Structure 1
Amino acid sequence: MPTKPTIARIWRGRTRREVADRYEPYLRAEGIPPLEKTALGVQLFREDRDNESWFVTISYWADMEAMTAFTKGEPTKVHHLDRDPEFLIELPERIEIHRILVNEQGLR
């Protein structure tokens, strides 16, 4: 039986619109694969606004212990990618960690 996630770890970052199309493939190549190897699931979102683009990565974890093992004991610490300072308007200072209260995935 597959493990259901109980924890969602959420990272948010924003770029200027003119660099968003370069940041997205970088984030896909460097930020997402480590999560795909370890987390139960991962999603990447992008919202383009007038002058900036927001990126949100949500990874799903069986429990706090699994997430803490992935983050080497610091689940709320932001681990910036090497080129984040080049792309992001400011470096995010925190990660959100949420308990999943409802997990119904009837999306079609």
Structure 2
Amino acid sequence: MATPARIARIWRGRTRRDLAYTYEAYVRSEGIPPLRKTALGVQLFREDREHETWFTTISYWPDFEAMSAFTRGSPTQVHHLARDEELLMELPQRIQIHRILIDEQALR
């Protein structure tokens, strides 16, 4: 039986619309692979607005210890990718950590 996800770690950042495809490709190649190797699961979301694009990455973890091992410190600290300063409108200063209370998915 698979280990259930008990914690969601949520990161959000925004870029200019003209850099959105560049940033998406960058996150897919540099940000997501380490999470795929370590987290129980990962999702990447993209929200295009008129002048900016928001990206949200949610990774799923069994506990705080697993997140701390991955981040090599506090899981609430933001760990920026090498090109984030160049591509993002500002560097996010916050990570959200949520306990998962209900985990149901409709499979149709």
Task: Specify if TM > 0.5.
Answer: yes
Please state if 1:53 is matched with 2:48: no
Query: Counterparts in 2 of 1:1-108, with a 5 A limit?
Result: 1-108=1-108
Give the Cα separation in 2 of the matches to 1:63 and 1:105.
Answer: 21
Q: Which runs of 5+ in 1 are unaligned?
A: none
Give 4+ residue runs of structure 1 displaced > 2 Å after superposition. Answer: none
The CA deviation at 1:106 is: 1.9
Count of residues in Structure 1 that have an aligned counterpart in Structure 2: 108
Give the Cα separation in 2 of the matches to 1:52 and 1:40.
Answer: 30
The CA deviation at 1:73 is: 2.1
Secondary structure of residue in 1 paired with 2:43? strand
Tell me the TM-score normalized by structure 2.
0.97
The CA deviation at 1:86 is: 0.8
Secondary structure of residue in 2 paired with 1:31? helix
Give the Cα separation in 1 of the matches to 2:107 and 2:51.
Answer: 31
Identity in percent: 71
Tell me the TM-score normalized by structure 1.
0.97
Secondary structure of residue in 2 paired with 1:10? strand
The CA deviation at 1:68 is: 1.1
CA RMSD of aligned residues (A): 0.8
